[in-house]
């Protein structure tokens, strides 16, 4: 670690005036606990390298335990962290409505101030307020926009589109938002700035699609300049239009901003989702002929459960015709419960939802819960408990390891809640399930908080014994010996709440209230 800091990191900070730290500076800094080390993008490593790198990271954390280490990763990629993990997992939450409004107002004020002199500050504030008010009103009036605005990247894209043309209706779907941003960056903005791009917008987008697909197929997030230029020079469009690949790349980076050079001589898309969009659009374009469609569908299905391919899968299916979508989703459901869960998301994000048959939606839902049913049927109660948590947390759009908030529970889909409950009730002979727990909760006076009635409820379902809270590992997991209502267990379904029962008493009633609404 000290060598990495002094020989690789420090030289990149100042090229004009090289930094020359004292001997052993980095080691002493790490050992003293004065260092804050961030290792960014663990998921961007090749899959086969992640276990080895995870062991190296954990070794550094052990050796320099006085310092603070932060490892960032998308959740799906972090599953390959096989060594001892950092002690405190932290997830990025969705933007709340208040946070969305603050972001929009500050973003607009920053943009308007940047394009005006200091003497025009009052005008900048007035324009920023008016534009921000208009955009916020749209988000409040259109639920599909409000949903996208929960994502910081998508909110930034929405504000960018809105500022360029406030009179234009904002995209309704995520796929349309990406299309709009690409046209804005490659066509509308350059024309507004009187900049001549080397190639027309449509041709540049096709090239970016080809680059993205090649990178996704190679499980790459970054590509070296030499390899990128070789790839570009093989594209016939540059010879046909008499355009230099290097000149095109320079304009795409500096003007279009759809490729970025974060490290010298190394390029990547501004966000993984852009890479997924371009790759998906390239593959979706093959659906015009049956043979090409079969090729693209086969490639998608082979990588359906791969974390690297997730955005590509979602944005590919969003661009399929209804009949093609039906075919791909049915084949994906044959891959098992995890694949079916992603298929459900694909159907939810499909722009023409009215064209999706109820039978196809039901099939995906059934297969999604197949693994849970098999575990319950085999009386593998602990594993079924874990699968219940996984299904519920992914259903509300979060990742394995995250926690629920009140909104997740108050708005949990009734169909999913009924399915989980019915499976637990069926295979426990009516002993377990949310509906069983709800009735016991009602018999105890429907307690909220940590009063005596809440503890009485916990005593009855076996979560408290002899006045103390039972850890989830010490629950009974025995159909004959377990109390009525013990499962699904609170420590797995409510993963991140403290196991002293304090917050549980405030959170769980939201689910029981939802169970009443859903008529469990």
Looking at the structure, tell me whether residues 513 and 377 fall in a common domain: yes
Structure tokens at 139: 């988000």
Cα gap 142→468, rounded to integer Å:
48
Looking at the structure, tell me whether residues 73 and 102 fall in a common domain: no
CA dist list (Å): 153 to 149, 394, 498 = 8, 20, 31
Which residue is it, tokens 């790839």? Answer: 231
List the pLDDT tens digit at each of the 520 positions of the chain: 999 998 888 887 776 777 888 889 999 999 999 999 999 989 888 888 999 999 999 999 999 999 999 999 988 788 889 998 888 888 888 899 999 999 999 999 999 998 888 788 889 899 999 999 999 998 888 887 888 898 898 899 999 999 988 888 888 888 999 999 999 999 998 998 899 999 999 999 999 999 999 999 998 889 999 999 999 999 999 989 999 999 999 999 999 999 999 888 999 999 888 999 999 999 999 887 888 899 999 999 999 988 889 899 999 999 999 999 999 999 999 999 889 989 999 998 899 989 999 999 999 989 999 999 999 999 999 999 989 998 999 898 888 778 788 888 889 999 999 999 999 999 999 999 999 999 999 999 888 776 678 888 889 999 888 888 787 778 889 999 999 999 998 665 554 444 455 566 667 788 888 998 999 9
CATH of the domain at 404: 1.10.10.1770
In a domain, 84, yes or no: no
Structure tokens at 396: 């509300």
Count CB atoms within 10 A of the CB of residue 166: 13
pLDDT for 87 = 82
The domain boundary residue, chosen from 78, 113, 137: 78
Buried b (16+ CB within 10 A) or exposed e, 200-226: ebebbbbbbbbbbbbbbeebbbebeee
In a domain, 35, yes or no: yes
Cα gap 2→37, rounded to integer Å:
11
The domain boundary residue, chosen from 172, 196, 216: 172
Cβ atoms of residues 369 and 337 within 8 Å: yes
In a domain, 161, yes or no: yes
**φ, ψ of residue 36 in degrees (nearest 5):** -115, 110
Domain span at residue 130? 97-172
Cα gap 364→370, rounded to integer Å:
10
Count CB atoms within 10 A of the CB of residue 162: 20
How far does the chain reach from its first CA to its final CA, in angstroms? 55
Name which of 211, 223, 208, 282 is nearest 44 in CA terms. Answer: 223
Looking at the structure, tell me whether residues 379 and 493 fall in a common domain: yes
Looking at the structure, tell me whether residues 73 and 119 fall in a common domain: no
Q: Give the containing element (helix H, strand E) for 181.
A: helix 174-183
pLDDT for 503 = 63
Structure tokens at 436: 């069983």
Looking at the structure, tell me whether residues 376 and 437 fall in a common domain: yes
Instruction: Report helix angle 358-368 to 370-377, nearest 10.
Output: 40
What sections of 195-256 are H helices per DSSP? 201-217, 225-233, 236-240, 245-251
Looking at the structure, tell me whether residues 64 and 31 fall in a common domain: yes
Name which of 231, 221, 307 is nearest 263 in CA terms. Answer: 221
Looking at the structure, tell me whether residues 504 and 391 fall in a common domain: yes
- Cis peptide preceding 488, ω within 30 of 0: yes
In a domain, 25, yes or no: yes
pLDDT for 498 = 45
Cβ atoms of residues 395 and 413 within 8 Å: yes
Cα gap 80→45, rounded to integer Å:
10
Q: Going by C-beta distance under 8 Å and a sequence separation of 6 or more, which residues neighbour residue 245?
A: 229, 232, 233, 235, 238
Name which of 309, 105, 280 is nearest 209 in CA terms. Answer: 280
Looking at the structure, tell me whether residues 145 and 33 fall in a common domain: no
The domain boundary residue, chosen from 78, 111, 140: 78
Angle formed at CA 231 by CA 229 and CA 236, multiple of 5 degrees: 105
Cα gap 316→346, rounded to integer Å:
9
Looking at the structure, tell me whether residues 380 and 493 fall in a common domain: yes
In a domain, 234, yes or no: no
How many structural domains are present in the chain?
Answer: 3
Looking at the structure, tell me whether residues 69 and 34 fall in a common domain: yes
Structure tokens at 185: 């960056």
In a domain, 22, yes or no: yes
What's the predicted TM-score (pTM) here?
A: 0.81
Cβ atoms of residues 215 and 195 within 8 Å: no
In a domain, 191, yes or no: no
In a domain, 321, yes or no: no
Looking at the structure, tell me whether residues 438 and 480 fall in a common domain: yes
Cα gap 483→476, rounded to integer Å:
8
**φ, ψ of residue 501 in degrees (nearest 5):** 85, -5
Looking at the structure, tell me whether residues 167 and 72 fall in a common domain: no
Cα gap 152→163, rounded to integer Å:
16
């Amino acid at each position: 670690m000290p060598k990495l800091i002094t020989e690789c990191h420090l030289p990149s900070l100042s090229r004009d005036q090289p930094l020359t730290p004292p001997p052993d500076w980095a080691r002493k800094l790490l050992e003293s606990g004065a260092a804050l080390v961030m290792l960014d993008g663990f998921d961007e490593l090749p899959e086969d390298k992640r276990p080895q790198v995870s062991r190296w990271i954990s070794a550094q954390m052990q050796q320099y335990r006085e310092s603070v280490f932060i490892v960032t990763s998308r959740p799906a990629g972090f599953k390959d962290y096989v060594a001892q993990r950092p002690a405190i997992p932290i997830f990025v939450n969705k933007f709340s409505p208040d946070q969305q409004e603050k972001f929009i107002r500050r973003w607009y004020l920053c943009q308007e101030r940047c394009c005006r002199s200091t003497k025009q500050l009052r005008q900048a504030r007035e324009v920023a307020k008016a534009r921000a008010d208009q955009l916020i009103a749209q988000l409040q009036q259109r639920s599909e926009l409000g949903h996208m605005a929960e994502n910081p990247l998508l909110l930034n894209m929405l504000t960018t589109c809105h500022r360029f043309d406030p009179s234009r209706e904002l995209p309704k779907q995520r796929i349309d938002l990406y299309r709009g941003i690409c046209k804005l960056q490659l066509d509308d903005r350059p024309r507004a700035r009187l900049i001549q791009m080397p190639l027309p917008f449509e041709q540049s987008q096709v090239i970016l699609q080809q680059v993205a697909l090649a990178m996704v197929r190679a499980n790459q997030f970054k590509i070296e300049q030499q390899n990128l230029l070789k790839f570009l020079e093989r594209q016939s469009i540059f010879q046909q239009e008499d355009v230099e690949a290097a000149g095109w790349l320079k304009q795409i980076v500096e003007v279009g901003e759809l490729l970025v050079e974060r490290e010298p001589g190394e390029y990547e898309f501004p966000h993984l989702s852009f890479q997924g969009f371009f790759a998906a659009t390239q593959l979706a374009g093959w659906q015009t002929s049956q043979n090409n469609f079969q090729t693209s569908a086969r490639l998608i299905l082979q990588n359906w459960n791969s974390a690297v391919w997730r955005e590509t899968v979602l944005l590919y299916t969003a661009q399929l015709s209804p009949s093609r979508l039906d075919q791909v989703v049915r084949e994906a459901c044959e891959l098992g419960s995890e694949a079916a869960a992603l298929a459900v998301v694909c159907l939810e994000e499909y722009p023409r939802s009215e064209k999706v048959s109820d039978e196809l939606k039901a099939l995906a839902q059934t297969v999604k819960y197949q693994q849970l049913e098999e575990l319950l049927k085999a009386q593998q109660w602990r594993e079924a408990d874990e699968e219940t948590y996984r299904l519920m947390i992914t259903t509300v759009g979060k990742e394995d390891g995250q926690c629920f908030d009140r909104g997740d529970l108050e708005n949990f889909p009734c169909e999913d809640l009924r399915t989980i409950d019915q499976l637990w009730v069926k295979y426990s002979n009516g002993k377990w399930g949310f509906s069983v727990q709800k009735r016991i909760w009602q018999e105890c006076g429907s307690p909220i908080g940590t009063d005596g009635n809440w503890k009485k409820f916990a005593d009855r379902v076996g979560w408290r014994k002899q006045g103390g809270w039972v850890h989830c590992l010490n629950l009974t997991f025995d159909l004959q010996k377990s109390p009525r209502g013990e499962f699904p267990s609170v420590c797995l379904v409510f993963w991140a709440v403290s196991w002293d029962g304090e917050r549980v008493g405030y959170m769980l009633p939201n689910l029981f209230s939802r169970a009443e609404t859903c008529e469990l």
